[in-house]
Amino acid sequence: MLGPWRRPVMLARSSRRARSLQVDPWPAVTWSVAESGYVRPPIVPPVILDDTGQVIPYGTRWAPAPPPADTYEVVTHPERFTPLLTVAEALVTHLERTYDVETAPRAQEREYKAGLPTTGPFTGHAVTITPRRRDCTPLTIEFTDFPSVRVKAGMFFYRAFPDCGCDACDDEWSYPATVLEGVVLAVAKGTFTETIRARQVTTCLRAPDGGSGWTEKLSESPYSPAYIAQARRTLESLPAGWQPWPERVAKD
């Protein structure tokens, strides 16, 4: 089973960086969304109508033909992504109930320069969830007015859901919601790794099906030398890498 993270990626904008989605060697850590205890809350999908009153079938409009030229870098009906905010709220609640963490209302300031999302400037609110273990990465979830959700983890991971949102991409809410859940739960389960080698940053996430993953390789160049040095020190202090978050101990 390859799972939803292995869906072919169509680059809707010529300016978007190509990404490498591949299977990498991983520690023998397996998990599933069901085993994590997380359950997606009930979602009432928004119904988006076109000018004639017909439902717009997002996600199926263009294939197998390419998107029309006038749909690139154009965003109509971003409200179709509103359920992502509900999913993100549910993930925050799940992490707080499941793991021994502290939650703060502000995001940690880090140099997430590479791969910045294309869904506009951050104008919403954010929460940072910090495990009570130094070898576990904090996780920041940003809620934007687009609407979209952005996730920060470790020293370099920063992703938006949806990652573009333009009409050419033709995304609807459910696929980015599935990936969002997988990313957040993978970080908490400890199947997230980062390395810096030969002036290249590599971040990896193991998907919940246990057999597929998300690997991205970036140049150091977008980051300041001071930040790279800080990142090296942090990662070198983690001989076993980022660890699974400690679970909350139930009180009698």
Pairwise CA distance, residues 22 & 40, whole Å: 26
Q: How confident is the model at residue 8 (pLDDT cuts 50, 70, 90)?
A: very low
Burial class (CB within 10 angstroms; exposed 0-12, middle 13-18, buried 19+) of 17: exposed
Predicted confidence at residue 21, as pLDDT, reads 34
Lowest mean pLDDT among 9-18, 91-100, 129-138, 218-227: 9-18
Q: Is the peptide bond before 208 cis (omega within 30 degrees of 0)?
A: no
End-to-end Cα separation, the chain, in angstroms: 40
Predicted confidence at residue 173, as pLDDT, reads 95
Predicted confidence at residue 110, as pLDDT, reads 73
Predicted confidence at residue 215, as pLDDT, reads 81
Q: Take residue 100 and report the two structure tokens written for it.
A: 């021994």
Q: How confident is the model at residue 36 (pLDDT cuts 50, 70, 90)?
A: confident
Q: How confident is the model at residue 12 (pLDDT cuts 50, 70, 90)?
A: very low
Pairwise CA distance, residues 179 & 168, whole Å: 19
Q: Take residue 166 and report the two structure tokens written for it.
A: 């333009």
Residue at 229: amino acid letter: A
pLDDT at 108 over 80: no
Summarize the confidence of residues 114-122 as an average pLDDT.
Answer: 54
Pairwise CA distance, residues 218 & 42, whole Å: 37
Would you say 58 and 80 are in contact if contact means Cβ atoms under 8 Å apart? yes
pLDDT at 55 over 60: yes
pLDDT at 97 over 50: yes
pLDDT at 165 over 60: yes
pLDDT at 212 over 60: no
Residue of 139, 152, 140, 147 lying closest to 171 (CA atoms) = 147
Per DSSP, 28 falls in state S
Residue of 2, 6, 10 lying closest to 21 (CA atoms) = 6
Lowest mean pLDDT among 46-60, 136-150, 168-182, 238-252: 238-252
Could you tell me how many residues make up the chain? Answer: 252
Q: Of 13-27, 72-86, 219-233, which one has max mean pLDDT?
A: 72-86
Summarize the confidence of residues 107-121 as an average pLDDT.
Answer: 60
Higher model confidence: residue 1 or residue 194?
Answer: 194
pLDDT at 210 over 70: no
Pairwise CA distance, residues 73 & 118, whole Å: 10
Q: Quote the pTM value.
A: 0.84
Q: Take residue 7 and report the two structure tokens written for it.
A: 């869906």
Long-range contact set of residues 201-208: C-beta below 8 Å, sequence gap at least 24: 201/114, 201/156, 201/231, 203/154, 203/156, 203/157, 204/24, 204/26, 205/157, 206/26, 206/29, 207/3, 207/5, 207/6, 207/182, 208/3, 208/31, 208/32, 208/33, 208/36, 208/182
Predicted confidence at residue 113, as pLDDT, reads 64
Residue at 129: amino acid letter: I
Cα dihedral across residues 109, 202, 87, 38: positive or negative = negative
Give the distance from CA 204 to its chain's centroid. Answer: 12
Higher model confidence: residue 22 or residue 243?
Answer: 243
